[in-house]
Amino acid sequence: MTRRRKSNTSRQGQSAAGDRKPADKPPASEQSPQGAPAKGTQRQWYKADLHTHTIASRDYEQPGTTYLDYMRRAVEQGLDIVAITDHNTAAGVGAIRREIEWLTRLEKDNRLTDDERARLNEWRELSEKVLVLPGFEFTATFGFHILGIFPPETSVRHLEHILLMLKVPAEKLDEGSTETGASTDVLTAYRVIREAGGVAIAAHANSTHGVAMRDF
């Protein structure tokens, strides 16, 4: 998950917490002071990286790396959740899904080699450990980078439809380039991503290509 001139793990979303709250709010007498969760409330922390790249991004700089290596690295880093946000493309998400589907089909037809069976089993094991969220890193006008992150079941076709709505040229959907010539502004990108069921995040907001970078 190495990105050019960036650290392996982005600062966005490195950790997230989810609360499982009782269906009914407990009486005030049972609540903990200063707004702390009442007794019995379960609290679970998740380690997440919501800004990662695969070999589908053109600026990925680890030759010979595979998509399986990407997942191994996520587990090695102790991540519970990872978002695939390649530059202006959903090609990485599609490649991972196609490989798993192909191996699963071979298994169903009883045609797996030993190596393929081992790979499929590893995919399944890794997928149980890390929740993968599909998405992309969109380049808006003025070169600003915006993350679009979506639910796990989101199809590649839907992601590509969103990128087309953001005016990424169809012929560039598989390039994984940081520059596509898209002419959608930041606020419109936020709206389109949100209305399509995703979460929009300003990537590396106060550094290069960030919406809050200085001296712009």
Give the residue from 86, 93, 89, 83 showing the smallest Cα distance to 166. 89
Identify residue 107 by its one-letter amino acid code. E
CA atoms of 8 and 5, how far apart (whole Å): 10
What tokens does 103 get? 């191996």
Q: pTM higher than 0.95 for the full model?
A: no
Query: Band of the pLDDT at 61, cuts 50, 70, 90?
Result: confident
DSSP state of 36: P
The residue type at 9? T
Distances (CA, A) of 135 to 6, 57, 91, 115, 198: 19, 13, 10, 30, 8
Please identify which residue in the block is written with the tokens 């399944």.
124
Kindly report, residue by residue over 86-113, the tens digit of the pLDDT: 999 999 999 999 999 999 999 999 999 9
pLDDT beyond 60 at 148:
yes
Q: What average pLDDT score do residues 40-63 get?
A: 92
What's the confidence (pLDDT) of residue 154? 99
pLDDT for position 181: 80
Q: Where are the beta strands (DSSP E) in 14-165?
A: 15-20, 42-52, 81-84, 131-139, 145-149
